Structure formats: C-alpha cells, structure tokens
Structure 1
C-alpha cells in the first residue's frame, strides 16, 4: 500500500527526486525508528534523527509562504539547544540553480560549516552518481574524521533503514559513499 501523506507530498514537491526517500520508508522511520523524529507545523517540516552524540537533519522545509521570516533559523536554533553536533547533507552549489545557492547561504548564515575534507557520493535509482556536501554545526570543535564517522552512522541507520525492502539495495553504502581527502 502506497502511503501518500500531505507532509511527504510537500517534501517531494520541494526536494530533488534523487534525494527523496520512498514514502513508506519515511513513514516507517517516523513510526518505528526510536531515534527518528518528525515535527510539522503550518510553517515547516523537519525530519531528523537524534543520536546520543549528534543530530542528523534528514529534511528541513519551510513552506514557501513562510520563507524569509526566520522560521528555518528558529528550527535550527531549537536543535542547537541540544548542544550536540548537527550534521546534514546538501546539494553542491550550482550557479544555474538558485535553490542550491539559497540553501547553502542559509546554512552558512546559521553557523554551519562545510566539511570540505569529506567526499560524499551517492547513486540514484538509475545508477547515476551524484555528489552531496556534508555540512555541520559544531557546539565544540570536532575533526572531520569524527564528523564522517557520524555521517556513516546516519547512512547505516537512516538512509539504509529497510532499504532492501524499498529499493533492493542500500541507499548509501557508507564505506563506498564517504571518504576523507588527504
């Protein structure tokens, strides 16, 4: 049975298709994964996993009519209050895509840093490789090897949650998708 909730449709309308998880996978994460959380209001939707030492933001969407009003910053500030490292992935800057520029500026303005030593590649359903950037907000100094290890945990536990059932393969094999530049 295909679950098509309103919040899923909003995410699907905004994020690139290759970044969207299967709707049933997201529903299962929200309902059964002990670390995965969904907060939804009329202004925003955030899906994230909270682990003992870090938070992984899977999706953050501020509704179009609310953008530019500080809502996204408020959501991030609420997560920052947990005093844990926050990790997320974002599309690389594309000079022809204003959304990638807006998203990157938003995260950098909110104190996130680019993990410039981490190379993160994924494959879409057609086997095409694409790159993602790992961004992080550190409540304390952290080296990028530690950040990469936490990102690997997010890949294993969140991206690959029941992935064989929904995709017939892991979505992001952390040992193949993530590496540290020398």
Structure 2
C-alpha cells in the first residue's frame, strides 16, 4: 500500500482512483501494469494498439535527472502511441508547468481538439488535457477513440462497485471539437 500513499500524496484528489479500484486493476485486468522502483512509479494500460499512462510519479530527489525520460523511453520502445492525462497549466502551481515541459521535451503533443471533462463525487467538473506521442502521424479522432477505450477499461473498471457510478462515461466526458479554420 506504500505505492498508493506515494501517489495519493502527489496527485490531486480528483485524479486519484480508490485503492480498491487500483488493486483490482493491477490484479484482475491483464493489460494494466504497475512498475515501481525506488525512483519512480508508473501505472499504465497496454492495449493492442496504444499505451495509456494512468500515473507517472518520479521521486522528488531524482527529478530532472532523466529518470522520467527513461520510463517514457521504455514505453516508447513498445512502438505504440502513448496517451496520458495532464492537468492544464496553472500559473499558481509550478508543477503543472514542469509536467507540460517534461512531456513536450519527450515528444508529446496536446490533443487540442479532444475536450475531456470529468466530474468529482461532489459534482464539480474539472478538465484534463490529453497529451500523446506516436511513432507515426495520428489523427485526433483516433486519439479520442483510444481515450474512450481507456475510460471504459481503466477508469470505469469496477467503478460502480468502488464509487457507485461510472467515473468517465466516454459519451459524456469526451468531445471532439471541430478544427479552427483561419
């Protein structure tokens, strides 16, 4: 359970899954993986056509030393697109800016046409940005479809049991916006 405490101390409350749901994902969902070392912790789903990074946490004292980039490189070696959720940059929270810079340095782009808005148990909404890396060009509709699969098989895995509701109904939380034409 120490790994869960590490996550819980770092990630915002609205982004944290219940311990029971994560335990079930790790033990009962073959495509869901947890890798933990002294320096990092990553939980991700490996689908047939993409990887979804659910949580990536690098220990504070080794940040900016290449550990996170090494984890990303291991995932890139699978040769599949990688998707992850990133909090929008908040000028008041330095870590949000650092995260976005980290993912950009590692070749990730924001899926700027995929709108992703979730709801807390209290009914408050919060937005997350979808960032992606792909070994070859990929369209935003494909990104949204992959994200819908991650919602169904990861965020919603036994969510009725753990929360009494779906955590991320793809039909409600995802929307593909039309491209902006100049």
**Structure 1 unaligned blocks of 5 or more:** none
The correspondence for 1:87, drawn from 83, 86, 91, is 83
1:15 alignment partner in structure 2: 11
User: What's the offset of the Cα at 1:15?
Assistant: 0.2
Residue pairs, 1:45-64, within 5 angstroms: 45-64=41-60
Deviation at 1:53, TM superposition (A): 0.3
* Secondary structure of 1:142's aligned partner: coil
2:125 to 107, 126, 129: 129
Aligned to 1:146: 142
Q: Secondary structure at the match of 1:100?
A: helix
Cα displacement string for residues 98-130 of structure 1 (whole angstroms, at most 9, x for unaligned residues): 011011110011000000000000001111001
2:64 corresponds to which residue?
A: 68
TM-score (norm 2): 0.97
Q: What are structure 2's unaligned runs of at least 5 residues?
A: none
Query: RMSD between aligned alpha carbons?
Result: 0.4
Which of 75, 79, 96 lines up with 1:100 in the alignment?
A: 96
Deviation at 1:75? Answer: 0.1
Alpha-carbon distance in 2 for matches of 1:127, 1:41:
36
CA distance in 2, matches of 1:30, 1:108: 28
Q: How many residues align?
A: 178
Matched, 1:158 2:154: yes
Structure 1 residues 125-160: Cα deviation after superposition (integer angstroms, max 9, x where no partner): 111001000000011000000000000000000000
